[in-house]
Structure 1
Amino acid sequence: MDDTASGMTTIQETAGRGLTGERAVLLETLAKHRMLFRHTVTGLSETDARRRTTASVLTLGGLLKHVVEVERGWLDFVETGHVEGSEKWADFTPEAVADGTTPEREDMTLGDDESVAGWLERWDDVAARTDAFVATGDLDITHPLPDAPWNPPGMSWSARHVLAHVIGETAQHSGHADIIRESMDGQKSMG
């Protein structure tokens, strides 16, 4: 059995242990996509973490940082009603995107003083915090979404909705990371 299949088996046996219903499903699904992403960046050099292998500006290190910050930011939202940095979201208008005047995406680029190991360690802390909330927190807690061109005015999200969003972000960027890594050295998460 390869590492990915073994990891999937372990997650299905352990994630959400002692929980039932949607809490177990949320934890298992999030753990699976975290594991796939982590597998993709395993053994990566710091140089390769910053390397572009496609026409996109995305890098493995930048994607890792983004996924960790997305999970942390949205858990902050669940707990406080605020996502750090969301005050800049209103600047992402179609016009600003078209003319290149949107704010710099610091969450998508590794700084010189940042490392894959450091972000993986931070992810461990964020994941533990998220998992603890999923196990015991109020999934119905709801807050108004920050102002942003992609959020309808007056819309709110529950913790449940936030967790579905975090799972979706993690899965989507895990796929992006898999393509980048395969383009780099042929390593694939699955298949």
Structure 2
Amino acid sequence: MTAQTLTGERADLLESLGTARYFLRNTVQGLTDEQAQLRPTVSELTLGGLIKHVGEIELGWARFVVDGPAAVAPPTEQAGWEKWANDFKMLPGESLERILQRYSEIAAETDELVRTVDLDSSHELPPAPWFQPGARRSARRVFTHIVAETAQHAGHADIIRESIDGKKSMG
């Protein structure tokens, strides 16, 4: 693809996504795999698991923009719920390096959508207890949701990191 200069809304979305992702990724800078798997708070969340979760959620929403409601529909069988639960965990054999690499790959795909997709395109949300029946989401709204989700979890990650070694990644 030829390099293009983006301005306006698309540039703002990309900058917001980049900033939120930076703060999330910054929370694991200098950590080992073992540290990324620690649970130093009462939460079940770990830093590795949190980044993995944010990436998988972003991937689901990016697929929603392209493919529609099935991409974010809740699981309908036990195996689906187990996969969903494992998306919050850094599992044995997973490395922080690979989780960060996967997150970068997902981010690059999302960024390409921000550059190219019709931001007004929309799909109906699937039936789920957390979605209003019949509600729709535009691509624009999906991207702002990804920014909010990433920023919220960057705050969670900052608390977890500070609990591990006292480092404040956001201030």
Do they superpose with TM above 0.5?
yes
Q: In the alignment, is the contact (CA less than 8 A) between 1:90 and 1:149 conserved in 2?
A: no
- The CA deviation at 1:90 is 10
Aligned 8 A contact 2:161 2:169 in 1: no
Please point out which of 121, 137, 146 is paired with 2:126.
146
Alignment coverage as a number of residue pairs: 164
Whether the aligned pair in 1 keeps the contact of 2:69 and 2:124 (CA below 8 Å) is no
Aligned AA (1:41): V
Deviations 1:80-139 (A, max 9, x none): 004546232899xxxxxxxxxxx4411101121211111111111111111111112111
Give the alignment partner of residue 79 of structure 1, picking from 66, 77, 83. Answer: 66
Return 5+ residue gaps in structure 1 as ranges. 1-16, 92-102
What SS class does the counterpart of residue 179 from structure 1 fall into? helix
Q: How does 1:76-115 map to 2 (within 5 A)?
A: 76-84=63-71, 86-88=73-75, 103-104=81-82, 105-115=85-95
Contact 1:65 1:107 in 2 (8 A): yes
Is it true that 1:65 corresponds to 2:45 in the alignment? no
CA gap 1:166/1:89 in 2 versus in 1, 3 angstroms: farther
Q: Hey, what's the Cα distance between the residues in 1 that align with 2:36 and 2:132?
A: 35
SS at match of 2:27: helix
Q: Deviations over 1:138-187 (max 9, x none)?
A: 11111111211110111110101110111111000000000000011011
For residues 46 and 146 of structure 1, what CA distance do their matches in structure 2 show?
36
| Letter of the structure 2 residue corresponding to residue 87 of structure 1 | P
RMSD (Å) for aligned C-alpha atoms = 1.9
Equivalent residue, structure 1, for 2:19: 32
Aligned equivalent of 1:51: 38
1:46–1:116 Cα contact (<8 Å) kept: yes
TM-score by length of structure 1 reads 0.80
* SS of alignment partner, residue 74 of structure 2: helix
Q: Percent identity?
A: 51
CA distance in 1, matches of 2:43, 2:138: 33
Instruction: Extract structure 1 runs of 4+ deviating beyond 6 A.
Output: none
Aligned to 1:187: 167
Check the 8 A contact 1:69/1:107 in 2, yes or no: yes
